[in-house]
A and B are shown apart, each in its own frame.
Chain A
């Protein structure tokens, strides 16, 4: 019988919450990879059974684990993502951690993509058993220019994230670089172009910079052709591919809330609906709920207006952060929303954000939350 699974990657392990599709009774399995850093864990929507987890112990190097039975048993990748060995005398790069995992197109069942820190793109054609670098990006002559240096990177290092495969074109890929910006490839990763026009980069001197931006989370709509949303370091944006510029739909957020945040969540069917979790981006950028009062904001009209959705959430003195992978949606009707906090809480709404319930407390710092239907 299909069940709903919410995969919660944390600083100290992977926790899987499960319920029936009615979402009434939830249980949590014993932790997987207890003590290890799990940046991301994703259940393959193409088969409902395969799960990949990006794992790194504090002491050990990064790897990917694969489960073929929805997380009951795990096997380590035979060849985890790794940069090419440098020529003698040349400085090479090494993967610090695998940050993002993304299943490939529905027509390519074994294909997965992985994004790493530092910013590297890797692909697998055998369901995550072995990985190879996507040379079109990793060896691109402009890559170093795009990603900048350590001063351009987040505190945990530069990351390649938000790997999206166009659901209407398996050769069309989108990625996010923090820092670096949004990029796309229309030839399965062989060549890449910046896709940042219209996005602000308040930390760059050139207001029309071609790259160097800081997208926090980019989502391509799974059902509507050419609809892309983005939560950026500098605002919330929407791009309709008939146009060539991002539109700052975060300008329609209440001014006292602003449009800074990390995650971006889309409705699985309605391209006009999306949700964000605003964070305080004033003064020294606390990146906590504004005023200590957490709220999700949702739009039902493509970003022309936003509604505060905080019923059931703490009324005050809540100072957690919701990271870019730590908020997601299921595909049920009405859509369920889920987010995890740096304080180890997982919150859920089974009515598209109208009311929120705490699913669990006392987990480690949450890095990622992914909801999916398990076969």
Chain B
């Protein structure tokens, strides 16, 4: 499925803002992203599997608050980096 990256993460994908990843949950999708782009997961999810404070995930425009959220082929996943100050 399509994953839209925020600009702070685009360097992991050689500057691309849209990439493809697979998985049945948001957690699996992030694991697949990390296989393709090593290191990307830890920048958005901490070592206790908590979504980092200034990161939001949207599944088909609905905010997902847990890595257990289900995803399916054809979904669109937005990773948004927001509100971190000046």
Contacts and interface: CB of A to CB of B under 8 A. Distances in A.
A84 B47 CA distance: 7
Nearest to A75: B39
B39 A94 contact: no
B8 A94 contact: no
Interface stretch (A59-67, A100-108, A300-308): A59-67
Nearest to B55: A59
B43 interface: yes
Given A57-B8, A59-B54, A60-B43, A86 B48 contact: yes
Interface string B2-43: 000010110000000000000000000000000000110011
Main secondary structure of the interface of B (DSSP, over half): loop
B46 A61 contact: yes
Interface residues of B, number: 21
Contacts of B48: 83, 85-86, 92-94
Nearest to A57: B8
A94 B47 contact: yes
Given A58-B54, A58-B84, A58-B85, A63 B43 contact: yes
B47 A85 contact: yes
A84 B54 CA distance: 22
A197 B4 CA distance: 55
A52 to B, nearest CB: 15
B81 A95 contact: no
A80 interface: yes
Contacts of A77: 39
A95 B47 contact: yes
B82 A59 contact: yes
Interface size class of A (residues with CB under 8 A): 10 to 19
B42 A59 contact: no
A370 B85 CA distance: 27
A49 B52 CA distance: 33
Nearest to B38: A78
Given A59-B55, A59-B84, A95-B47, A82 B42 contact: yes
Contact of A59 (B39, B46, B81): B81
A152 interface: no
A94 B45 CA distance: 10
Contacts of A84: 47
Nearest to A133: B47
B77 interface: no
24 contacts: A57-B8, A57-B43, A57-B84, A58-B54, A58-B84, A58-B85, A59-B8, A59-B55, A60-B43, A60-B81, A63-B39, A63-B42, A63-B43, A76-B39, A77-B39, A80-B42, A82-B42, A82-B47, A83-B47, A85-B47, A86-B48, A92-B47, A93-B48, A95-B46
